Structure formats: structure tokens, C-alpha cells
Amino acid sequence: MPRVHDVLTSGDLNKFASLQVFARQVVEGFCSGLHKSPHKGFSVEFKEHRQYVAGDDIRDIDWKLFGKTDRLFIREYEEETNLRCTVLLDSSGSMGYRGSRSSLSKHDYAVRLAACLSYLMLQQQDSVGLVNFDDQVRSYLPPRSRPRHLQSIVDSLHEQTPGAETELAAVFHEMVQKIQRRGLLVIISDLFGDVDQLMKALAHFRHAHHEIMVFQIWDPDEIDFPFRQWTQFASLEQADHQHLVDPSQIRAAYLQRLEQFREQLSRGCRRHRINLVPMMTDQPYADALASYLAHRRRAR
């Protein structure tokens, strides 16, 4: 399995080590993002049992209860933590695209962005979890604030490869039931799919009082459609969908639909008070993230 520094370089970490992710609204916990509690991340009071799920720390298993019931349950505590963050990473086929101007595919870029954010959350002693999904949830690590949780996140990120179709809305509706404690949700995706259905799913998250931040990943080719010669276009989500086309015949229509798609997304996110942040894969991810977080801090 890869080590943390196989994904994040020391130079990347230095660019945002002093920054913090601030929640702009009240979320569960101390929620100010200012870390006034002297017991950051320290569990002080037993709350309840819940059923064990893959990714939970086995040290939190109530073995006495297991002896009585032959079932695994986790002891949950009220945590004095400022923020609970869950990163939802899109590993669908469209995320596998890499154009000639980018050194990373959209998915590789997203993986590093997710690792950066997870590192930052744990550095500021908040808790962070990870959901990997395509047309369904592939893995789920519940939020934890222990420093070694970063290695578990990196391991999970390393295991995912893009390939299946996109089902954003269905996955998000499912996750509303799993992420029951309100907090900050960071979605890293190209958001390709039906915008109306996507907005209904995001509204479901907002109804559960989550704050949402969306990093929309773009390859430059998708923005300016630079193709000039006859080109074979193949679907990254449906292997049997291939078309040989003259780009000059479809470029104007493509750019028009792209503009409509982006405007529809922007309007929907504004309506639901969701931060939509475009990220280009030809821009260093640590630079882009540091710039955005600095701007977010100044805007408070």
C-alpha cells in the first residue's frame, strides 16, 4: 500500500499547512472552525452503540456486547471536535480522462485533492471520512480524528480505479441515510449527469443541515474542445460507445451545451447555498486548493 508521502509531497503540504477549512454555518460539534476547545477530538462521554461497518477502528468495538450478541457494535462517544467532514470521491468512468495538457487524469487529480483535504482536516484536529463511489458506494470510511486515519484514507483512495457509469443522485440519496450527524460534505466530481436529479439529491443533503462544498474537476480539453482532425471518441463509461467524427461539425453545439450545463449547475448551487469550485487538472492541485481556502478564510 502507498504511504502518505507517495501521494502528497512535502512541497504540497507546505502550501496549505497553515490554512483551515472553515464551516460557514452551524454544524454539529463546536462547529466554529476556530478550535477553542482544549480537548480537540477527545471523546469524553459515551453516547450509544451502532453496528460495525467496514473501516471502523476495531479498538472501538464493544467486545463484551459481542460476547452476548455475537454481533459487532461500535461504542460511539460525544466528541469535542470542531467539525466532521466527509469527502465523497467520484470514481466513475468519466473521471479517468486525461488530455495532452495535463499530467494527471481527473481521477488522479481528485485522489490527490482528497488526500490534501483529509490531511488538512486531521492537522487541525477535526474528523474526516471518505466515500468512494461510481454508480454505487464502493467504500465508506466513517469520520475519525486520529492522525493515523490518514493512512487508512490513502489506502482506500489507492484501491479505487475509475470505470463504471455515473449515478450521482442515487448515491447521494443513499449517503444521506448513512451520514446522520450533520457536518461538512466535500464532493469531488466532474458532476456529469442529470442536473435536475443531482440538485434534488444535493437538496436532500441540505435538508439534513449539511454544508456542502463541491470541487468540480475539469480537464482543459473539456472546456475548449481543441480537437481539429477526425477523431475517434469513446465513452469511458460504456465501452461499446465509440464514434468517429469531424470535430468541426460538432464543436459549436458541444460548447453551447457545455455552457448551458455549467450555468444550470451554477444556478442550482447558488439556490441551495452550495460552494461550487471549478478545478482544472493543468493547474497544480495544491496551489488551487491553497488559493481557494485562503479566499474562503478572508470571506468569513
Instruction: Looking at the structure, tell me whether residues 31 and 46 fall in a common domain.
Output: no
Instruction: Looking at the structure, tell me whether residues 139 and 286 fall in a common domain.
Output: yes
Q: What is the DSSP string of 4-54?
A: HHHHS-HHHHHHHTT-----SS--SSS-SSS---TTTTEEEEEEEEEE--T
Contacts of residue 192, defined as CB under 8 A and 6 or more positions apart, other chains included, come to 92, 94, 166
Instruction: Looking at the structure, tell me whether residues 163 and 264 fall in a common domain.
Output: yes
Domain holding 175: CATH number? Answer: 3.40.50.410
Instruction: Looking at the structure, tell me whether residues 204 and 282 fall in a common domain.
Output: yes
Q: What is the pLDDT of residue 11?
A: 74
Comparing 36-40, 64-68, 119-123, 218-222, the range with the smallest average pLDDT is 36-40
| Domain total in the chain | 2
Instruction: Looking at the structure, tell me whether residues 66 and 172 fall in a common domain.
Output: no
- The model's confidence at residue 24, banded by pLDDT at 50, 70 and 90, is low
Q: What is the pLDDT of residue 198?
A: 95
Most confident of the ranges 10-14, 78-82, 263-267: 263-267
| Contact criterion met (CB below 8 Å) for 114 and 159 | no
Q: Domain boundary residue among 80, 110, 145? A: 80
Q: How far is CA 194 from the centre of its chain?
A: 19
Instruction: Looking at the structure, tell me whether residues 112 and 178 fall in a common domain.
Output: yes
Q: Domain boundary residue among 53, 80, 107? A: 80
Instruction: Looking at the structure, tell me whether residues 69 and 93 fall in a common domain.
Output: no
Mean pLDDT of 218-247: 71
| Contact criterion met (CB below 8 Å) for 28 and 181 | yes
Instruction: Looking at the structure, tell me whether residues 166 and 69 fall in a common domain.
Output: no
* Domain assignment of residue 160, given as a range: 4-36+83-298
Q: What is the pLDDT of residue 25?
A: 53
Q: Domain boundary residue among 22, 50, 80? A: 80
Q: What is the DSSP string of 75-139?
A: EEEEEE-S-EEEEEEE-SGGGG---TT-SS-HHHHHHHHHHHHHHHHHHTT-EEEEEEESSSEEE
Which cell goes with 274? 452550495
Q: What is the pLDDT of residue 30?
A: 36
Instruction: Looking at the structure, tell me whether residues 243 and 131 fall in a common domain.
Output: yes
Mean pLDDT of 216-221: 95
Residue 61 DSSP symbol: B
pLDDT, the chain, mean: 81
CB count within 10 Å of CB 225 equals 15
Tell me the per-residue pLDDT of 124-155, one tens digit each, with 9 for 90 and over.
888 999 999 998 999 999 999 888 899 999 99
Instruction: Looking at the structure, tell me whether residues 155 and 65 fall in a common domain.
Output: no
Instruction: Looking at the structure, tell me whether residues 76 and 91 fall in a common domain.
Output: no
Comparing 10-24, 81-95, 121-135, 148-162, the range with the smallest average pLDDT is 10-24
Tell which wins on pLDDT, 115 or 235.
115
| Contact criterion met (CB below 8 Å) for 153 and 118 | yes
Strands 137-144, 184-189: pairing is unpaired
Ramachandran category for residue 11: left, alpha or beta (phi over 0 → left; psi -120 to 50 → alpha): alpha
Instruction: Looking at the structure, tell me whether residues 88 and 67 fall in a common domain.
Output: no
Comparing 6-20, 58-72, 197-211, the range with the smallest average pLDDT is 6-20
Phi, psi of 24 (to 5 degrees): -90, -5
